[in-house]
Amino acid sequence: MTSRIQILEIVGPLAVMVALAFDIAHIPTSRLPQAVQGSDVLSVVFGDAKKVISAAMLQKADSYFHGGGGHGCRSRVRDAPP
Amino acid sequence: MKLFFFQCRALVKLSLLELWRRNDVFGLLILALVLLVPLAMAKPFGSTGAVRYMDEVALVLMWGYSLFIALGTGARAFPPEFENRTIYPLLAKPVSRGMFLWGKYLVSALAFFYMLFAVAGGLRGTGWFPMDLMQAFLLHVAFVSVAVSVSMLGSLILSPSANLTLSAILLGGMFFFGRRLPEYAETVGGVLGLFVKVLYAIAPHAEFFDMRQRVIHGWGTVEFRVLLVVLAYAIAYTAVCLACARLALKRKRL
C-alpha cells in the first residue's frame, strides 16, 4: 500500500510536469521569459566557437574523403600512403 | 503541524550552521561583491546604453555562480552525513527521512544574488525593484530549486563526481539547446525523434527561467499566465525529484 502511494507521489507530479513542458513548448517565443534566443553574450561566444569547430570538422571530413589530403592539395595526396 | 514546523526549523538551523562553518557564505559574498558591484556601478564612456553589456555580464556570472553553488550544495547535503556517520544521531531523533530531506532542501534552495543586483541597479539610478527584475528573481529562485532538487536526487543514486558532472551537463545543455528540441524532434522523426521528445519531456528545462534579455533591455514583464505556468513547472519538477529522492533515501541502507 505504502509503495503504491509512493509511486503515485512520483507519477502525479510527473504527469503535470510533462503536460506543462509541452504546454510551454507551444507558447510563442515572444511571450516566454527567454524572449529571444541566440542574442546574448554567451550565444555570441558559443556561436563563434561553433563556426570555428564546424569549419575544422568540414576540413577534416574533406581530408578523409580525399584520402588524407586536403581538397586541392596535390602534394599531400601524392605523399599520402596508399 | 506545530511539530512539523519545529522539526523543520531545527534542521534548517543545523544546515545553515553547517554552511557557516564551511565558510561557503563568505565565499559567495566575496565573489558577488568583487565581481558584481564594480560591474553594476560602471558607466563606460558615460553612456547608459553601454552599461547593458555590463549588466549582461553580471547576470551571466550570477547564473553561472548560482548553478554551480546550487549543484554543489545539493550534492553535498547527504554524502558527508553518511561518511561521518552523523546520519544516525539525526535520524535517532523523532525526525523522518522525508523531513530530513525537506530540511536540507530548504537551506540548499536559498538564493540571494538578485537582491545584490537590485541594490546595485538602484545605486546606479535605474530603479530599486522594477517589476521585471522581481519576476526574474522569482524565476531564478525557481531555477535554483530545480537545480538543487536534481543534484540532491543525484547525490542519493550516483557518486559525487558523476552526479555533479551529469547534473551540470543536463542543466547546461538544456539551457542552451532546450528550446530547439521540439523542432529537432519534428525534423528527424522516427526513433530518434521519439527519443528527443522523451528527453524534452523529462529533462530539467533551465531555459524556461531565463529572463536576462528582458531585464537587460527593459523589454517588459512576462504575462502572468506564462509566469504561473513556468512556476508550476518548477514546482512539479521539484516535487518529482524530491519524491524520487525520498524513495531512494528510504531504500538506502545506512
Cβ contact A10–B244 (<8 Å)? yes
CA B4 to chain CA centroid, nearest Å: 25
**pLDDT, tens digit (0-9, with 9 covering 90-100), for B42-91:** 655 555 556 666 677 777 777 777 787 778 777 777 777 777 777 777 77
Q: Kindly state whether A20 is in contact with chain B, defined as any CB-CB distance less than 8 angstroms.
A: yes
> What CA–CA distance (Å, rounded) separates B237 from B248?
17
**pLDDT, tens digit (0-9, with 9 covering 90-100), for A45-66:** 666 677 788 888 888 888 877 7
Q: What average pLDDT does this structure show over B140-145?
A: 85
Name chain B contacts of A41, Cβ cutoff 8 Å: 53, 56-57, 60
**Quick one: pLDDT at residue B236?**
94
Read off the DSSP letter of residue B213.
H
- CB B44: neighbour CB atoms within 10 A? 11
Predicted model pTM: 0.75
Phi, psi values for residue B29, rounded to 5°: -65, -45
- Nearest residue, CB atoms, A10 vs list B211, B219, B240: B240
- Nearest residue, CB atoms, B230 vs list A33, A35, A42: A33
Q: Is the per-residue pLDDT at A73 higher than 60?
A: no
Nearest alpha carbon to residue B243 among B102, B82, B80, B96: B102
Residue that is written with C-alpha cell 518529482 in the block? B240
Read off the DSSP letter of residue A75.
H
pLDDT level of residue B230 (50, 70, 90 thresholds): very high
**Quick one: pLDDT at residue A80?**
53
Angle CA(B147)–CA(B212)–CA(B207) in degrees, nearest 5?
40
Chain A interface test: which of B114, B137, B240, B250 (most A C-beta within 10 Å): B240
**Quick one: pLDDT at residue B19?**
66
- CB A78: neighbour CB atoms within 10 A? 8
Nearest alpha carbon to residue A18 among B188, B146, B199, B191: B199
**Quick one: pLDDT at residue B94?**
66
**Quick one: pLDDT at residue B232?**
94
Nearest alpha carbon to residue B135 among B218, B77, B61, B204: B218
**Quick one: pLDDT at residue B85?**
76
Residue A79 Cα, gap to closest chain B Cα (Å): 40
Cβ contact B179–A34 (<8 Å)? yes
Alpha carbons within 13 A on the beta-carbon side of B176: 15
Q: Kindly state whether A75 is in contact with chain B, defined as any CB-CB distance less than 8 angstroms.
A: no
- Return the CA Rg of chain B: 20
- Nearest residue, CB atoms, B243 vs list A10, A40, A42: A10
Q: Is the per-residue pLDDT at B233 higher than 90?
A: yes
Cβ contact B60–A39 (<8 Å)? no
Q: Kindly state whether A22 is in contact with chain B, defined as any CB-CB distance less than 8 angstroms.
A: yes
Nearest alpha carbon to residue B232 among A17, A55, A22: A17
